[in-house]
Chains A and B, each alone.
Chain A
Amino acid sequence: MGTLATPMTSFSSSSCSTELVLPHTRYSNQFKSERSSSAVLSIMAEEEEREVFDANDATLLVEELRGHFNLGKTKNYEWRVAQLKGISKMIVEKEKEIIMALQQDLSKPETEAFVSEILLTKSSCEHALKSLQSWMNPEKVKTSIMTFPSSAEVVSEPLGVVLIISTWNYPFSLSVEPVIGAIAAGNAVVLKPSEVAPATSKLLADLLPQYLDKTNIRVVEGSVPETTALLEQKWDKIFYTGNGRVGRIVMAAAVKHLTPVVLELGGKCPAVVDSNVDIQVTARRIIAGKWACNNGQACISVDHIITTKEFAPKLIDALRTELERSLGKDAMQSNDISRIVNLHHFRRLTKLLDEDGISSKIVLGGRTDEQDLKIAPTILLDVPEDSLLMTEEIFGPLLPIVTVDTLEDSFNLILSKPKPLAAYLFSNDEELQKKFIENISAGGITINDAVLHLTVPGLPFGGVGESGMGAYHGKFSFDTFSHKKAVLRRSFTGDSTLRYPPYEPRYLGMLKALMNGNFLRVILVASGLYKP
């Protein structure tokens, strides 16, 4: 997944003769003159003109945003609605530019880009707009006799100034979706898009200031130095999408300021395939959840399959057939799958294939093209348990199939690995479905399909264990960027002196009676008619 390696190019600091301008203009692209979305080379050239965003800049940025947040504007319903509408408008008006940027960064097919990035984000925005008023309403809570008379409620309030660090595989939706949550909850936001998807990063840096309130919502482009500078600051929440290694760095940085974090990580998402399935639909859905998902470069794509020794050949045949139907005879020539994002990941994936004992296990595909950064959909059968393919998150178009004697054996295999972000089961056996859900811990589970659970706004989307902490989507996005403040309201009437020292024995008697639900005794003791 997006690492903090490979800075784009040398960030040569320009002369500081323009230091009379306000500090924040040194780094924010939004104050520069408009640029068109251009090819990578010209982006790189412009990067060289931009000054380094260092710790001082980051400090000033956060101070500024905090100053703005403290003015209270972002807390208003009207402001939040205006920003959400701004995002919606941006997605509609700039759909073509967004899709083009995704094509540049990932060769993402138009339909995939539309569905997985445009559609989902737009729908998320609309959902937030529709529900915001109800989300913002305090939630009334029942009180007990202990605090009678009183009223209680839970009030949602924004956390303050939040940092969102996005990733490269769904560079638009994984940036905008958390931003939607942060805004809905009334926060000021800084978004750090991934430098590994530079066209989208640049587009976000250009578009967001055009459509949103740039005094409270900012984009900081860059890589390791910029992210490091940002992570040194005091944020009220940090939302990170990426891998477990950097997730640990983010959490460790958050410790300094006791900043709560959400870490959306990954894992090896298994798909267990039973024999009692509609094999054609199963094969299609596995393809949809693997190669039609950014060519396997997705945190919840099917990482590997587990099926019985008996069923494996049938499954492989079905996959072969459906792959040809979806991507043509030569998938490398198809425009309907993304490429590998860059050379670094291409080499990482070919290394998985080149490991000893692997190539003999290829049953389909295996071709690679470094020039075009393409790797054919590749299926492998029973690669060694200790191979890199079976121990690392693949994040690419290689699909190992592991065979077991019975399906129940798949459980131990899954449980022997860290908890993944998603787990899938294809089966019509209700008992097996029940057992799967009860025993397999993962961020989320889909039965008889892949990936789709993330499209349901009522379902929390997040990991557990190595696959992450916290969740978002729908109201969970609002909640994750909110503080749930307990509020108890009392009046001065009905103040019982029993609760105060000097303590009377009868008060303890009352308490005991209360505990035992003996309300009559409570009244008798309180009124002095019963002496314990």
Chain B
Amino acid sequence: MMADEKQGVFDTSRAELLVKELREQFDSGKTKSYAWRVSQLKAILKMVDEREDEIVEALRKDLSKPKAEASMNEIYLLKSSCQCALKGLKKWMKPKRVIPSILALPSSSEIVSEPLGVVLVISAWNYPFLLSIDPVIGAIAAGNAVVLKPSEVAPVSSKLLADLLPQYVDNSAIGVVEGGKHETTVLLEQKWDKIFYTGNSRIGRIVMSAAAKHLTPVALELGGKCPAVVDSNVDLQVAARRIVAGKWACNNGQTCVDVDYVITTKNFAPKLIDALRVQLERFFGEDPLNSKDMSRIINLNHFTRLKKLLHEEGVSSKIVLGGHADEEQLKMAPTILLDPPEDSLVMKEEIFGPLLPIVTVDTVDDSFGLILSKPKPLAAYLFTNDKKLKKKFVDTISAGGVAINDTLLHLTVSGLPFGGVGESGIGAYHGKFSFDAFSHKKAVLYRCFFADIPIRYPPYSARKLSMFNAVTSLNLIGLIQAAIPCFKA
């Protein structure tokens, strides 16, 4: 389970062996115990705490992620997630009592949460620690054995995870497999009890397809074009700050829930652009390409992809701010475009970078049709003080999650499920939802032998039938009338 360069190619037989070993560990019952789960969660907390500097450094190397961003968006959120699980675990593990139905009386019933077994977590490159460890926290809290496949696109973080996890957690039940397409394919051929994937919808389909062979349930945390609708009746500076924070201060737009594009009225657009300009300068200075507070583009592949979006015909003329890039440093400046063509790539594909199209409409209500014409996104944002508009937005716009007058923050609320709908994904996690995502909710009904009612059994008769009728319509008199001849028999 260590970094595969030490042990040769990770092939099918190694994957089979890995799953077999983990299944043996799981079957021994070890991972089910409260004590084991707590020890693993504490170990993860310790790891994130003690090795914070190395983690931040790995993120700097992979993404040029600013220290503050790394601390806030990866370290802090992970610790918080761990602590939430530690605090809630006992309660989450307790069976939940349920009211029995009249047909099942006398009885008692409950829902018992049990681990699914051996689960696979496939992580992504943009928040390589958070998106690896957060699902693993859920898997462990629910009592499973886990294999984590970090993203090879963030190689330093991947290697660090492969080195650190075995030092802190029980690596007979929690493993890391590094690698790319080959290793992932080989892992996906195995029978898992759940697969948790974070990434894009193309690979999401491949994952689900592989899962279908074994009837493995999946959670797919995907993405989409997350819109931010901006009304004119807002505190403009705060709105602008929050949009900038939810775009460029978020891994430079390389985030599944960052603001992909803005929709505002024709009238308001110039004011909004000005406010964004002011805030961008405040955040990143006059020369953002050299700001230490902005991540770079992860690699040349994505850099080229983003350049292609920008240089498509009819698009570059729409640039109202930014547009500069430095290929050598893989840096791209915050870029705002005004009304690029509807059918341009930048308006059709998930941008995942520092380009922000602003689409103008006549009235804010027109934004609804535009959003609804696209696949359901992972998040949707609305900036307004108009109560009616807020209600309409929440009622009408289907997205994984919605934030009003801010961006991204909904994912920090542990009581809110974080997940997509439609093209943006299946399933959810965070907080107790993580525990639930990796659990089977087993129904349990307890009955005793006395008070056995003979009307349930054949031979059936008109009398028994009328007794059933009486019971279910709570017709006490009817029940007694029907029952008496029955007792005689």
Contact = CB atoms under 8 A, between A and B. Distances in A.
Contacts of A503: 66-69, 293
Contacts of A495: 235, 238, 241-242
A39 interface: no
A70 B397 CA distance: 11
A251 B72 contact: no
B76 interface: yes
A211 interface: no
A281 interface: yes
Interface string A439-478: 1011111111100110111111100111011110000000
Interface in A505-525: 507-508, 511, 514-515
B472 interface: yes
A455 B101 contact: yes
Contact of B103 (A278, A285, A325, A452): A452
Contact of B409 (A146, A468, A484): A146
A248 B213 contact: yes
A508 B460 contact: no
A456 B402 CA distance: 34
Contacts of B217: 469-470
Interface string A260-297: 10010100000000000110011011011000100000
A110 B469 CA distance: 13
Interface stretch (A12-20, A112-120, A197-205, A349-357): A112-120
B212 A488 contact: no
B456 interface: yes
A38 interface: no
B487 interface: no
Interface in B91-127: 98-101, 103-104, 107, 109, 111-112, 114, 116-117
Given A488-B403, A489-B390, A501 B443 contact: no
B71 A511 contact: yes
B34 interface: no
A224 interface: no
A159 interface: yes
Interface stretch (B163-171, B337-345, B447-455): B447-455
A308 B54 CA distance: 59
A442 B103 CA distance: 22
Contacts, number: 297
Given A443-B443, A456-B104, A488-B410, A326 B457 contact: yes
B401 interface: yes
Given A236-B422, A258-B422, A112 B460 contact: yes
Contact-residue bracket for chain B: 35 or more
Interface in B261-291: 279, 282-285, 291
Interface string B176-217: 000000000000000001000000010011001101110101
Contacts of A123: 101, 472
B79 interface: yes
Contacts of A466: 215
Interface in B224-246: 234-235, 238-239, 241-242, 244-245
Given A453-B109, A501-B68, 15 more contacts: A110-B465, A143-B415, A248-B212, A260-B427, A278-B449, A284-B457, A285-B452, A444-B444, A452-B107, A460-B441, A469-B217, A487-B402, A488-B416, A500-B244, A503-B66
Interface of B: 27, 29, 32, 66-69, 71-72, 76, 79-80, 98-101, 103-104, 107, 109, 111-112, 114, 116-117, 193, 201, 204-205, 208-209, 211-213, 215, 217, 220, 222, 234-235, 238-239, 241-242, 244-245, 249, 279, 282-285, 291, 293-294, 372, 385, 390, 394-395, 398-406, 409-410, 412-418, 421-423, 425-428, 440-450, 452, 456-461, 464-465, 468-469, 472
Q: 3 tightest CB-CB pairs across the interface, nearest first?
A: A503-B68, A444-B443, A486-B401
16 contacts: A152-B410, A155-B394, A160-B398, A256-B205, A278-B450, A445-B442, A446-B446, A455-B103, A460-B441, A486-B418, A489-B404, A492-B238, A495-B235, A495-B241, A501-B249, A502-B293
